[in-house]
Structure 1
């Protein structure tokens, strides 16, 4: 499900009613727990949190005109998704999250490389997402990105 929106507020406005509250709460959780320096925007037709060019002028290696993506929130056809690039790039962070998840949610973790899928919006562990968001600064993400992902 692709949503055409120019702002995060417009994105949420266009969501089906059964998704609005969960995506809004997820957005607020991310916004209020990310370290200073990340910027909210629409990124890849999702609500995005990026390292702006003012902090990282090189931008995203796939398209340097774009800021460096970090977290995205999306309402997909069958689930709400949180994409977290740090989980993909940092095995220790990934393992921490996988280990903590069952302490917060009774259902099985549904996760890809960077995508955490919530098929039931009543099972989103907002407190765990808040803790995850606090674990990496823009500078730490840039260093990890340059070390593990960016191809020279």
Structure 2
């Protein structure tokens, strides 16, 4: 679900009550571990974590007027989605995360290419998400993006 909002504060105010505390907790974990240089914003109707244009003027290849996306957090109809483009672009990071997830949470990982879907709060490995967020800095993401995705 995308919300037609202009700020993170506004986004949090429209998240369904039963998901609001979980989204706020995940957001706090992300912000506590977010490497310097990424910026929190609203992108594509979700809370986005991007490389701003002042760091990467080319922007996103699909829409250069948008800053380069890296991660997103969203309250969806049936789950909370955490999107991490590094998982899609870096097999070593994906392998690390899936292994660590299986050691931390006993339920099956519900994941697409870059989207991790959480249906229950007890299935969210908050510490592991924080560690994942901290594993890639802005320069590493730009390099990986240019090598794998942009081409």
- Structure 2 distance, partners of 1:123, 1:12, is 21
The answer (yes or no) to whether the contact 1:105–1:123 under 8 Å persists in 2 is: yes
Say yes or no: does 1:137 pair with 2:137. Answer: yes
Q: Output one character per residue of 1:120-145: Cα deviation in whole Å (capped at 9) or x when no partner.
A: 12321110000001100000000000
- Structure 2 distance, partners of 1:89, 1:54, is 23
Normalising by structure 1, what TM-score? 0.97
What is the root-mean-square deviation of aligned Cα atoms in Å? Answer: 0.8
Helix, strand or coil at the partner of 1:70? strand
Say yes or no: does 1:80 pair with 2:80. Answer: yes
Normalising by structure 2, what TM-score? 0.98
Q: Output one character per residue of 1:48-85: Cα deviation in whole Å (capped at 9) or x when no partner.
A: 00000111111000011100000000111110000000
The answer (yes or no) to whether the contact 2:2–2:44 under 8 Å persists in 1 is: no
The answer (yes or no) to whether the contact 2:48–2:70 under 8 Å persists in 1 is: yes
- Structure 2 distance, partners of 1:103, 1:128, is 10
The answer (yes or no) to whether the contact 1:82–1:116 under 8 Å persists in 2 is: yes
- Structure 2 distance, partners of 1:99, 1:64, is 35
Say yes or no: does 1:149 pair with 2:149. Answer: yes
- Structure 2 distance, partners of 1:21, 1:4, is 20
- Structure 2 distance, partners of 1:129, 1:28, is 11
Of 121-130 and 54-63, the range deviating more from structure 2: 121-130
Of 97-106 and 85-94, the range deviating more from structure 2: 97-106
The answer (yes or no) to whether the contact 1:80–1:121 under 8 Å persists in 2 is: no
After TM superposition, give the deviation of residue 2 of structure 1 in Å: 2.4
Return 5+ residue gaps in structure 2 as ranges.
Answer: none
Return 5+ residue gaps in structure 1 as ranges.
Answer: none
Of 134-143 and 98-107, the range deviating more from structure 2: 98-107
Match of 1:34 in 2: 34
Aligned length: 151
Match of 1:122 in 2: 122
